[in-house]
Amino acid sequence: MLAKRVATAMGFIAVALVAIFLPLLSGSDWPLFALFLLALLVISAWEWIWLAGIARWVGRVGYVVLLGGLFCAVFWFREQLVDLALVLAAVALGFWVLLIPLLVRFPESRPLLRTGWAIAVLGAVILLSTACGLLLLHAHPHGAWLVFCLFTIVTLVDTGGYFVGRHFGRNRVAPQISPAKTWEGLYGGLAANLLFALGLIALLGRDLQQSLLILFTVLLTSLFAVAGDLLESSIKRSQGVKDSGTVLPGHGGLLDRIDGVLAATPCFIFCVLAFSLDFSLG
């Protein structure tokens, strides 16, 4: 199982890296990253509406087409929306902050997370804000590098948490939501990103203020990634399912792989733009 999990993760990372950096390296205007995001959105929307309990194909296809169409509209007008990226990220981040009580009050919040229309609306907002946020982030002057840093943060907090929690985990963070997630694992994931942040600061060579803001951004983004993981787990637990799908061997569904990205994206974008963080290597 571990070998399959690692192989799937490496394959997914390879595809993501190609989508992120190939247009930059080749000098092509072909929207490869946008197509990558559209594919992720379509698969994620299909899995999410299934979690909402919508069994009829008409409803599920309609939901996917709606979200995909809205994403394509944002892509079409992306140049006009780039200047609004900070506002959009702030709104999405505020939405995630409002969702935290659902996690804190679980299982009391379980009835809401069993309501099909509520889950569908929740998914539409979360999935679209993530896909559109990543699209606009990639359009930043150093967008490819920023997206890479974001994905690295989410991967490290998840991987570090998995291995540390597996070997040293004793105290559960949210036993009603995710019994396997422990405080020791959380600290392990944060420690991995602390090392990443310190390495990034050393590589970039920024002043003290920028260095502290980069460190703050990495750790805060890590915490939101964990919140995204817990939200998806709470929905699955409320619906009585183990995985969101079967598209990724060893991981389950695509949502099971990218749940941390859903909450981490608006946090990261907001911090980068609000603090005017300079991630350029030049």
Query: Would you say 214 and 200 are in contact if contact means Cβ atoms under 8 Å apart?
Result: yes
Taking the C-alpha atoms of residue 8 and residue 14, their distance in angstroms, rounded to an integer, is 10
What confidence tier does 83 reach under pLDDT thresholds 50, 70, 90?
Answer: confident
End-to-end CA distance of the chain: 42
What confidence tier does 270 reach under pLDDT thresholds 50, 70, 90?
Answer: very high
Taking the C-alpha atoms of residue 77 and residue 269, their distance in angstroms, rounded to an integer, is 19
21-44 per-position pLDDT tens digit: 887 766 666 789 999 999 999 999
Taking the C-alpha atoms of residue 128 and residue 139, their distance in angstroms, rounded to an integer, is 17
Taking the C-alpha atoms of residue 126 and residue 120, their distance in angstroms, rounded to an integer, is 10
Question: What is the per-residue pLDDT for 28?
Answer: 64
Mean pLDDT of 12-18: 86
Domain ranges of the chain: 2-274
pTM: 0.93
Mean pLDDT of 196-205: 92
Flag the least confident range among 15-19, 62-66, 271-275: 15-19
Task: Give the count of beta carbons closer than 10 Å to the beta carbon of residue 276.
Answer: 8
Instruction: Check pLDDT > 60 for residue 184.
Output: yes
What confidence tier does 116 reach under pLDDT thresholds 50, 70, 90?
Answer: confident
221-238 per-position pLDDT tens digit: 999 999 999 999 898 888
Which residues are CB-neighbours of 33 under 8 A, at least 6 positions away?
Answer: 19, 20, 23, 135, 138, 147
136-180 per-position pLDDT tens digit: 999 888 889 999 999 999 999 998 888 887 888 788 888 888 888
Q: Which residues are 172's β-sheet partners? A: 182
Which residues are CB-neighbours of 95 under 8 A, at least 6 positions away?
Answer: 125, 126, 129, 266
Three-state DSSP at 173 gives strand
Q: What is the mean pLDDT of the chain?
A: 88
